[in-house]
Amino acid sequence: MTTKDYGKAPFVTNIETATLENTNYRTALWTGELLQLTLMSIPVGSDIGAEVHNENDQFLRIEQGHGRVIMGESADKITLDTEVGPEDAIFIPNGTYH
Protein backbone atom coordinates (compact mmCIF):
# COMPACT_ATOMS: atom_id res chain seq x y z
CA MET A 1 0.00 0.00 0.00
CA THR A 2 1.21 3.49 -0.82
CA THR A 3 1.28 5.60 2.34
CA LYS A 4 -0.10 9.01 1.42
CA ASP A 5 -3.05 11.22 2.31
CA TYR A 6 -5.99 9.95 0.25
CA GLY A 7 -7.94 13.14 1.03
CA LYS A 8 -11.73 13.34 1.10
CA ALA A 9 -12.33 10.59 -1.46
CA PRO A 10 -14.12 7.42 -0.31
CA PHE A 11 -11.46 5.09 1.05
CA VAL A 12 -11.12 1.57 2.47
CA THR A 13 -8.02 0.08 4.06
CA ASN A 14 -6.95 -2.73 6.37
CA ILE A 15 -6.05 -0.50 9.31
CA GLU A 16 -3.94 -3.14 11.04
CA THR A 17 -1.79 -3.75 7.94
CA ALA A 18 -1.47 -0.02 7.20
CA THR A 19 -0.43 0.68 10.78
CA LEU A 20 2.10 -2.13 11.01
CA GLU A 21 3.67 -1.18 7.65
CA ASN A 22 4.05 2.48 8.67
CA THR A 23 7.54 3.40 9.88
CA ASN A 24 7.07 7.18 9.93
CA TYR A 25 6.56 9.06 13.16
CA ARG A 26 3.38 10.63 11.78
CA THR A 27 1.65 9.98 8.43
CA ALA A 28 -1.79 11.33 7.51
CA LEU A 29 -3.61 8.59 5.60
CA TRP A 30 -7.03 10.23 5.14
CA THR A 31 -8.19 13.78 5.85
CA GLY A 32 -11.83 14.85 5.77
CA GLU A 33 -13.68 17.90 7.09
CA LEU A 34 -13.89 16.79 10.72
CA LEU A 35 -11.75 13.65 10.89
CA GLN A 36 -8.20 12.71 10.02
CA LEU A 37 -6.72 9.22 10.12
CA THR A 38 -3.07 9.45 11.11
CA LEU A 39 -0.66 6.53 11.45
CA MET A 40 2.12 6.91 13.99
CA SER A 41 5.23 4.93 14.81
CA ILE A 42 6.48 6.16 18.16
CA PRO A 43 9.93 4.98 19.27
CA VAL A 44 10.22 3.12 22.59
CA GLY A 45 10.55 5.56 25.47
CA SER A 46 9.29 8.49 23.41
CA ASP A 47 6.46 10.85 24.16
CA ILE A 48 4.21 12.72 21.74
CA GLY A 49 3.61 15.59 24.13
CA ALA A 50 0.38 16.95 25.53
CA GLU A 51 -2.07 19.01 23.50
CA VAL A 52 -5.68 20.08 23.08
CA HIS A 53 -7.80 19.88 19.90
CA ASN A 54 -10.75 22.26 20.13
CA GLU A 55 -12.09 21.57 16.64
CA ASN A 56 -12.64 17.79 16.75
CA ASP A 57 -12.76 14.63 18.84
CA GLN A 58 -10.00 12.04 18.44
CA PHE A 59 -9.92 8.26 18.30
CA LEU A 60 -6.65 6.39 18.92
CA ARG A 61 -5.97 2.67 18.54
CA ILE A 62 -2.83 0.92 19.77
CA GLU A 63 -1.49 -1.84 17.50
CA GLN A 64 1.75 -2.72 19.27
CA GLY A 65 3.58 -1.73 22.41
CA HIS A 66 2.37 -0.16 25.61
CA GLY A 67 1.95 3.38 26.78
CA ARG A 68 0.27 5.75 29.15
CA VAL A 69 -2.68 8.02 28.40
CA ILE A 70 -3.54 11.08 30.46
CA MET A 71 -6.58 13.32 29.94
CA GLY A 72 -8.33 16.11 31.76
CA GLU A 73 -9.36 19.75 31.68
CA SER A 74 -5.73 20.91 31.87
CA ALA A 75 -2.27 19.77 32.96
CA ASP A 76 -3.32 20.57 36.53
CA LYS A 77 -6.70 18.78 36.30
CA ILE A 78 -6.00 15.24 35.04
CA THR A 79 -9.06 12.99 35.48
CA LEU A 80 -7.84 9.93 33.56
CA ASP A 81 -4.38 8.36 33.84
CA THR A 82 -4.12 4.80 32.54
CA GLU A 83 -1.80 2.31 30.87
CA VAL A 84 -2.73 1.16 27.36
CA GLY A 85 -1.60 -1.68 25.11
CA PRO A 86 -2.30 -3.58 21.91
CA GLU A 87 -5.85 -3.28 20.55
CA ASP A 88 -6.88 -0.66 23.12
CA ALA A 89 -9.06 2.17 21.83
CA ILE A 90 -8.84 5.69 23.23
CA PHE A 91 -11.55 8.32 22.77
CA ILE A 92 -10.64 11.97 23.35
CA PRO A 93 -13.45 14.57 23.40
CA ASN A 94 -12.66 17.90 21.74
CA GLY A 95 -11.27 20.47 24.13
CA THR A 96 -9.70 17.79 26.35
CA TYR A 97 -6.07 18.12 27.42
CA HIS A 98 -4.27 14.89 26.53
- Cα distances (Å, whole numbers) of residue 8 to 1, 17, 32, 94: 18, 21, 5, 21
- Are 24 and 59 in a shared domain? no
State whether 7 and 49 are in the same domain: no
pTM (2 d.p.):
0.81
Asked if 34 and 60 sit in the same domain, the reply is no
**Residue 22: how many other CB atoms lie within 10 Å:** 18
Check whether residue 93 and residue 76 sit in a common domain. Answer: yes
pLDDT 10s digit of each residue in the chain, 98 long?
677 889 889 999 999 899 889 999 988 899 888 888 889 899 999 988 999 989 888 889 899 999 999 999 999 999 999 999 999 999 999 999 99
Q: Is residue 93 within 8 Å of residue 53, measured between CB atoms?
A: no
Total number of domains constituting the chain? 2
56 with 87, same domain? Answer: yes
Per the structure, the complete domain to which residue 26 belongs is given by 1-41
